[in-house]
Structure 1
Amino acid sequence: GELSIVIAIGPEGGWTDAEVKRAIEFGFEPVSLGSRILRAVTAPIVALSLVGAAFEKC
């Protein structure tokens, strides 16, 4: 079967608690890179690289 992945990249200032709660209500699973704060233009590249690396192992 096919697997769909949706990545929601937040603003550099972070997500509000209300935004996180709403995303979870819509089925998102929060994932964090820890205390690192990435620029909004860098975060998608990192996220896609991590997803790609994870699926290469499958």
Structure 2
Amino acid sequence: MAKDEKAKAKVEQAKGKVKEAAGRAVGNEGLTTKGRAEKAKGDIRQAKEKTKDAFKH
């Protein structure tokens, strides 16, 4: 389960980075904002999983 969540976090972060870069490249502020939000969501998911791991050990 944890590996699935960690993988989801990485995918969200990557998709967010791509959207953010694409939005900047074409001058679309909405796409840039969506990319930042998706990246942040991945960051939060990753932090949650790291916290879970810390309490397991």
- Category of TM-score, reference length = shorter chain: 0.3 to 0.5
Larger Cα-atom Rg: 2
Structure 1 length-normalised TM: 0.38
